[in-house]
Structure 1
Amino acid sequence: MPNENYNDLAAFVVVAREGSFTKAAVKLGVSQSALSQTVRGLEARLGMRLLTRTTRRVSPTDAGERLLRTAGPRFEEIQAELVMLSEMRDRPTGTVRITAGEHAAVAVLAPALERFLPENPDVKVEIIVDYGLTDIVAERFDAGVRLGEQIAKDMIAVPIGPEVRMAVVGSPAYFRRHAVPDTPQDLTGHNCINMRLPTHDTIFAWEFERDGRELRARVDGQLVFNNLAMRRDAALRGLGLAYMPEDQVQADLATGDLVRVLEDWCPPFGGYHLYYPNRRHPSPAFALVVDALRLRS
């Protein structure tokens, strides 16, 4: 049946259940004559009578009974789903899937969600830690998190975190055995704790900048990890130098458990952004999550 005839079918279902064109017209908010004409049009298209009309009552024919048994429950399901969608608008619910690097997940997403989730018990957030440049559309993510300069121009980008700064750190015990490096080139003589990017299966190069000069150092060492906590722990144990987000080692620097070097080679850079494709009608749950993560000035 063509799509334009579904309204006719819905009208038939109401008339058959009410047993009256008058009652059905009131329920549908249309005139009795218009409703009668709609049902007659459906009968004409099907080539069979669906309703038997008397002065006292309207009742379905055998064909009408069969159609009512088949179509009636479908319209009930649709109506129930529409009611549920309306309730979702008033009380957001659903799952929001986000892909992000570990630091963004730990330093930005987790603190914001700690405040957001208790206030929105029907919203679920799934975070997948991935160091690669994930195609969020192909992988069916609602959004991703990247540094601002890494986001494609066709995506909507919302700032969610402050500037990021890296720090090269080692323990006092380590520096009692090794000289303090003055330049990134001096790192060749040090035991550096590396990070492997799982997605690309490569060792992450330490990035430095000073006076407009950028430098990527491929350092070497005995340890390689793929997460923040183990790199920090290894540095605290005096096993080498670690290249860490500054906020992850601030407490250790304050207590003196870690010592910072090459500070003038580590300027701050643009923070994390939540990015997602343009969508005219985002779900209420997604809109709430975006607002909760948005960086406030």
Structure 2
Amino acid sequence: MARDNINDILVFLVIARERSFTRAAAKLGMTQSALSHIIRGLEERLGVRLLSRTTRSVSPTEAGERLLQNVGPRLEEIEEEIAAISDLGDKPSGLVRITATDHVIDNILWPRLARILPQYPDIHLEISSDYRMIDIAAERYDIGVRWGDQVDKDMVAVRLTPDMQTRIVGSPEYFAHRPRPASVQDLMKHNCIGLRLASSGGVYAWELRQDGRDVEARIRGQFIFNGVYQMLNAALSGCGLAFMTEDLVDEHLRAGRLVSVMEDWCPRFPGLHAYYPSRRHSSRALALVIDAIRHKG
């Protein structure tokens, strides 16, 4: 196969996975018109249509899906083998792509990575903030971060944090004219701050526990956000109650800016874990990053 075909197939794979010329152009650092030109040329050389395009969406045709499913993994194997050969050099090098939520990136990953990466200028990081439950293999991330009980069994999991205590919190100003809740029934009378789940689109039901029994509280309130920092700011502003992990609110609890309620209802969550595919070649760059972010306690 001509080398141009291989390069153009790599471009096709990005577009097919992203289901968008716009997102693919941003990821590849190319213009949409350049991508369209590449795909047209590839389709002409192969003699088949690879992508079905409308004004709103892009999806592979039957031929495109076959190329994506059968040729894509083989090219990825070649890339991994080339990376493994490069790894035999004196200095660890390569790109490591990580996806996690903004809070995890800011408070767990980045402080640990910033201490060691200046020693390895040939290791490059791409860190994406995302609240979705991402298939890291499909979206070509090297590392994802989830709670310990959410990591798939076929992944390698590395602990980032101890188990985390949850809290229901509100500001003293919020409680100045309201009774503190003592049960789920009481919560239904309060202005609870919701989190919109990126993957399902629903509002997160608070995962509480009483006497060893799991209880889902389908809260209601004036405000719904899609990020934890916004929920925290709303609670600090006296706008309602928030259900959060202790690492987010501990400083504010100690300073008296927030008050914790219903503590016997708040469970501990399994710690955060970094995870990556067990079948993936573990490069020196990936191994260094994993070692830097793992929990050392």
Within 5 Å, which residues of 2 pair with 1:143-162? 143-162=143-162
Task: Report the AA paired with residue 233 of structure 1.
Answer: N
Q: Partner of 1:190: helix, strand, or coil?
A: coil
| Inter-partner Cα distance in structure 1 for 2:248 and 2:88 | 38
Q: Partner of 1:203: helix, strand, or coil?
A: coil
Q: Give CA deviations for 1:180-211 in whole Å, capped at 9, x if unaligned.
A: 00112211000111111223211111111132
Within 5 Å, which residues of 2 pair with 1:2-17? none
Q: Partner of 2:194: helix, strand, or coil?
A: strand
Q: Is the 8 A contact 1:101 1:146 kept in 2?
A: no
Q: Is the 8 A contact 1:164 1:271 kept in 2?
A: yes
| Inter-partner Cα distance in structure 2 for 1:280 and 1:150 | 20
Residue matched to 1:277: 277
Q: CA deviation at 1:177?
A: 1.5
Q: Partner of 1:133: helix, strand, or coil?
A: coil
Q: What TM-score do you get using the length of structure 2 for normalisation?
A: 0.67
| Inter-partner Cα distance in structure 1 for 2:222 and 2:267 | 27
1:129 counterpart = 2:122:
no
Q: Partner of 1:244: helix, strand, or coil?
A: strand
Q: Partner of 1:189: helix, strand, or coil?
A: coil
Task: Report the AA paired with residue 283 of structure 2.
Answer: S
1:191 counterpart = 2:191:
yes
Q: CA deviation at 1:87?
A: 7.3
Q: Partner of 2:128: helix, strand, or coil?
A: strand
In the alignment, structure 2 segments of 5+ residues that lack a partner are 1-81
Residue matched to 1:229: 229
Residue matched to 2:57: none
Residue matched to 1:91: 91
1:111 counterpart = 2:111:
yes
| Inter-partner Cα distance in structure 2 for 1:180 and 1:207 | 19
1:244 counterpart = 2:244:
yes
| Inter-partner Cα distance in structure 1 for 2:277 and 2:86 | 24
In the alignment, structure 1 segments of 5+ residues that lack a partner are 1-81
Q: CA deviation at 1:290?
A: 0.9
Q: Partner of 1:111: helix, strand, or coil?
A: helix
| Inter-partner Cα distance in structure 2 for 1:294 and 1:113 | 10
Q: Give CA deviations for 1:30-71 in whole Å, capped at 9, x if unaligned.
A: xxxxxxxxxxxxxxxxxxxxxxxxxxxxxxxxxxxxxxxxxx
Task: Report the AA paired with residue 173 of structure 1.
Answer: E
Q: CA deviation at 1:133?
A: 2.3
List structure 1 runs of 4+ shifted beyond 4 angstroms: 84-88
1:206 counterpart = 2:206:
yes
Q: Is the 8 A contact 1:184 1:262 kept in 2?
A: no
Q: CA deviation at 1:229?
A: 1.7
Cα gap change, 1:173 to 1:280, in 2 (>3 Å): closer
Q: Aligned residues: percent identity?
A: 49
Q: CA deviation at 1:86?
A: 5.1
| Inter-partner Cα distance in structure 1 for 2:246 and 2:265 | 13
Residue-pair matches, total: 215
Q: Is the 8 A contact 2:131 2:198 kept in 1?
A: yes
Task: Report the AA paired with residue 138 of structure 2.
Answer: A
| Inter-partner Cα distance in structure 1 for 2:224 and 2:183 | 22
Q: CA deviation at 1:162?
A: 1.4
Q: CA deviation at 1:102?
A: 3.5
| Inter-partner Cα distance in structure 2 for 1:87 and 1:108 | 27
| Inter-partner Cα distance in structure 2 for 1:272 and 1:89 | 33
RMSD across aligned positions (CA): 2.0
Residue matched to 2:219: 219
| Inter-partner Cα distance in structure 2 for 1:86 and 1:143 | 20
Worse-matched range after superposition: 261-270 or 114-123: 114-123
| Inter-partner Cα distance in structure 1 for 2:280 and 2:128 | 25
Cα gap change, 1:184 to 1:125, in 2 (>3 Å): farther
| Inter-partner Cα distance in structure 1 for 2:87 and 2:234 | 51
Q: Is the 8 A contact 2:253 2:260 kept in 1?
A: yes
Between structure 1 and structure 2, the one with the greater Rg is 1
| Inter-partner Cα distance in structure 1 for 2:87 and 2:96 | 18
Q: CA deviation at 1:85?
A: 5.3
Q: CA deviation at 1:220?
A: 0.7
Task: Report the AA paired with residue 150 of structure 2.
Answer: Q
Q: Is the 8 A contact 1:172 1:257 kept in 2?
A: yes
Task: Report the AA paired with residue 136 of structure 1.
Answer: I
Residue matched to 2:296: 296
Q: CA deviation at 1:124?
A: 2.0
Residue matched to 2:166: 166
Cα gap change, 1:153 to 1:175, in 2 (>3 Å): same
| Inter-partner Cα distance in structure 1 for 2:278 and 2:108 | 23
Q: Is the 8 A contact 1:95 1:125 kept in 2?
A: yes
